[in-house]
Amino acid sequence: MKTIFAASVPGRTACRVASDAPGAAAMLPAGLLRRTPPRLPECSELDVVRHFTRLSQMNYSVDANFYPLGSCTMKYNPKFTEYVAALPGFIRLHPLVAQLEGGTDVTQGALHCLYETEQLLCELTGMRAFTFQPMAGANGEFTGVSLIAAYHRAKGRQRQIMLIPDAAHGTNPASASLAGFTVCNLESRDGMVDPDAVANALQQHGDNVAGLMMTCPNTLGLMETHLPRIVEALHAVDALLYYDGANMNAIMGKLRVGDAGFDVVHLNVHKTFGTPHGGGGPGAGPVGVSERLLPFLPAPRVVRRQDGSFALNYDLPQSVGHIGPFYGSFGVVIKALAYMLRLGGDGLARASEYAVLNANYLKKRLEDVLEIPFRQRHCAHEFVASAPEGLRALDIAKALLERGIHAPTIYFPLIVHECLMPEPTETESKETLDAFVDAVRDIVLSGRAEPEKLHEEPRHLPVRRLDETAAARHMVLTEDMA
């Protein structure tokens, strides 16, 4: 597929400017005018439409097919959230308006929406307050661990260690070290955080432990069963608990992490609350805190005055400062609000129930095809499996692509051998799940019969197997347009 530049023909245009329209020269100061025309593609409207339509068809999306990419929650996002976020009152509002003299008079509706979304997330998670500034989950992690650092600093102490389980998403240790912490790895037992390992780490590092980052259900798709002991052990030494909320889709309306004792949580609204995920964003990673972290949140905060109107509060002397511009990904927050209001508390709980039911159905049906660690336990909204003896997870994934199905996440978490991690989400039907099972079964059976054939997949996609190292080392980012 060629780039749009390759379709360029000198002199061809998509629209004609009226001959009596004032030219750019009349509107701009002479010193700002460019001397050479910009090197833009010259195409007709139809060329442009065909080019981008073809590109979109080469892409893979939830709108076209099943997308069981574990840990990423690639569920179908109903289109009404797009409609709500695109209302003119929202998209025509410049973020600087609220900072002008009298600006909050004309932004009351937007501030009300931010305030309302915060209230709903607090209700759902049991946290005290949320900031919307972080732009994604990983950015929320960095914010959250920075809040933990600020908490200890305010108490006049420097704590160096962040405890992180070995099943954690790679962004956890990355965010902790970016915030200046030294990561201490906790080995899991039976697929869960081991309270004895926590006790040992606390003993070894004494009061140098700042906190623990946990994901629950964890990245193996298992609910952590030792939470109360772990929370108690950390709070006993005034260390804080971070909740990685990427798996929130399993627990909405079921577990309030604030009630479970967590001090700070990020949510990936682009996974759980109505924003499509993938393609590079935008997303949002709101961070919720318990009472003790409240003073350190980024500024400004939306507050409700006595008379019911809304204002921005910048007077937060202990704040960690700005994490992102303005109020975060405003449109994404609006989609989350629309999604939560449409589903209601019951609907959100039901979404989690179906997500968990679908995952357990898939797990059960794949038990005789794949090797399933922890198969005796119910999984949450996703589960891990190993490619059967003699087959590779990569080959199964590539063969699924050939059949028009997106592959599950593979080789994550790192602690599972030849790992495949399907996450069906609540929005998929039984027919879709059955078709996936049939495809995996067929691939495994034919792979057993002729393993070398599996190495050849995919055969009919625009790209087959890439040399990923070479692709990263010798990137070709431009096209020869001579």
Binding site for ligand PLP (CB under 6 A): 71-72, 136-138, 169, 171, 215, 219, 244, 246, 268, 283, 285
132 vs 310, which CB is nearer to ligand PLP?
132
- Helix (H/G/I), strand (E/B), else coil: 296: helix
3-class SS of residue 127: coil
Of 89 and 170, CB closest to ligand PLP? 170
Task: Name which of 111 and 264 has its Cβ closer to ligand PLP.
Answer: 264
CA distance 88 to 77: 21
For ligand PLP, give the closer residue by CB, 137 or 328. Answer: 137
CB of 283 to ligand PLP, least distance (A): 5
Q: Decide: helix, strand or coil at residue 416.
A: coil
Nearest-approach distance from CB 478 to ligand PLP, in angstroms: 28
Q: Is 368 exposed, middle or buried (0-12, 13-18, 19+ CB in 10 A)?
A: exposed
CB closer to ligand PLP out of 284 and 351: 284
Nearer to ligand PLP, 81 or 107 (CB): 81
Phi/psi at 229 (5° precision): -65, -40
Number of H helices, E strands in the chain: 16, 14
Q: Choose between 164 and 293: whose C-beta lies nearer to ligand PLP.
A: 164
Q: How far is the CB of 247 from ligand PLP (least distance, A)?
A: 6
CB of 64 to ligand PLP, least distance (A): 22
Q: Specify the residue, 281 or 404, whose C-beta has the smaller distance to ligand PLP.
A: 281
Pairing state between β 301-304 and 264-267: unpaired
HEC letters along 207-274: HHEEEEEEECCCCCCCCCCCHHHHHHHHHHCCCEEEEEECCHHHCCCCCCCCCCCCCEEEECHHHHCC
d(Cα 133, Cα 330) in Å, to the nearest integer? 9
Find the shortest distance in angstroms from Cβ 73 to ligand PLP.
8
Nearer to ligand PLP, 71 or 329 (CB): 71
How far apart are alpha carbons 385 and 420 in whole angstroms?
5
- Shortest gap between Cβ of 77 and ligand PLP (angstroms)? 15
DSSP readout, 12-44? --S----TTSPPHHHHS-GGGS-SS--------
Nearest-approach distance from CB 296 to ligand PLP, in angstroms? 21
SS3 label, residue 390:
coil
| DSSP 3-state percent helix, strand, coil across the chain (nearest 5) | 40, 10, 45
Q: What are the φ and ψ backbone dihedral angles of 474, each rounded to 5 degrees?
A: -120, 65
3-state secondary structure of 185: strand
Q: Minimal distance in Å, beta carbon 135 to ligand PLP?
A: 8
CB of 120 to ligand PLP, least distance (A): 20
Residue nearest to ligand PLP (CB): 137
